[in-house]
Structure 1
Amino acid sequence: MDTPGPRGPHLEWTVVDSDIGPLLLAATPEGLVKVEFHAGPDRAERMIGALVSRLGADARRPPPGEEVLLAEPIRQLKAYFAGTLRRFDLPLDWRLSSGFNRQVLLELDRTVPYGAVVGYGELAARAGAPGAAQAVGNAMGSNPLPLVVACHRVVENDGGIGGFGGGVETKRRLLALEGVLPQPLF
């Protein structure tokens, strides 16, 4: 286990390129704690500042290839985008999610596999809260671990694609990667 630094536990972070743009990844000794889309340099620095403040952690960005806590998440993300990984198998640090939001995210992760989708209302029912489709939408929007806990697989009950924190075009691309939608023409 890491020895806490002057501010608290260790937080390792990096930005990796992906088929959907730069992704910020952050992990603690407990597991992956944050995945964030569109992680350009300024945005990444702001996000890490917020994480450090919220978790009371010391942050470190190791040189590429020298990641310790993030080596396996990076490897699995590459395999996912290459089409060879269908389920992430990573330790997760759930401190950024709690209550109903965490319950819904755990249900999503447990019951909606690669290549499948579920409606907001159906996921609410599965989580034991029929009629809470809007609350499920809020839970998806607060997901600290998108891609790994695949909130892009949650769609509108009428078949519409629904919203997505990474942008609707990103959601389309992820669903196409998983074979749910056709690949974009351009």
Structure 2
Amino acid sequence: MKDYFERPERCLYESLPAVCPSVFSKDNFRQKAWMYIYKHVGFGTTISYGDLAGKLGLPGAAQAVGSAMRNNPVSIVIPCHRVIRSGGAPGHYSGGTRDNLKIWLLNHEAGVKGKSGSIKSYFSKKKP
């Protein structure tokens, strides 16, 4: 965690810490969604709720993906903040109670990767 916040560039090359096996112990949709983002959605990258549903073989299950993200037990290690809306909007974080944190995390990672089109650009283009 210290590297993520103090030396985030190291996260580009290091794997995520191990997750307690009980998090992935059931073979249900939530665990499959968590496992997918844990293994395939790296630092500074994003995937839409709908695209993740499609990757799991259930296109059209974007709301179920949102439910899985909302119930994520280890939210930085299983990086649910990297799951966004299809139009580029960030979507909610922690059931909508920590949306500003999601935006901060996405911008933090985008800045390390040198992406100019951070999530901030979505809000600057959005009409009031």
- State the TM bucket, normalised to the shorter chain: 0.7 to 0.9
2:101 matched residue in structure 1: 170
Deviations 1:61-115 (A, max 9, x none): xxxxxxxxxxxxxxxx000112132344322114246311000111111221111
Task: Using the TM superposition, give the Cα deviation of residue 141 of structure 1 relative to its aligned residue in structure 2, in angstroms.
Answer: 0.6
Check whether the contact 2:34–2:78 (CA below 8 A) recurs between aligned residues. yes
Gapped regions of structure 2 (runs ≥ 5): 121-128
Provide the TM-score with structure 2 as the length reference: 0.75
2:124 matched residue in structure 1: none
1:153 to 58, 63, 82: 82
Between Structure 1 and Structure 2, the one with more helix by share is 2
Write the mapping of 1:19-168 to structure 2, written as runs, cut at 5 A.
77-82=1-6, 83=8, 84-86=10-12, 87-96=14-23, 98=26, 99-165=28-94, 167-168=98-99
State the AA in 1 paired with 2:30.
N
Between Structure 1 and Structure 2, the one with more strand by share is 1
Provide the TM-score with structure 1 as the length reference: 0.53
State the AA in 1 paired with 2:89.
G
RMSD: 1.9
Structure 1 Cα separation of the partners of residues 89 and 32 of structure 2: 24
Query: Greater relative contact order (Cα 8 A, min sep 6): structure 1 or 2?
Result: 2
Structure 2 Cα separation of the partners of residues 156 and 182 of structure 1: 11
CA gap of 1:115–1:122, structure 2 versus 1, over 3 A, is same
Structure 1 Cα separation of the partners of residues 99 and 5 of structure 2: 18
CA gap of 1:163–1:101, structure 2 versus 1, over 3 A, is same
Identity %: 32
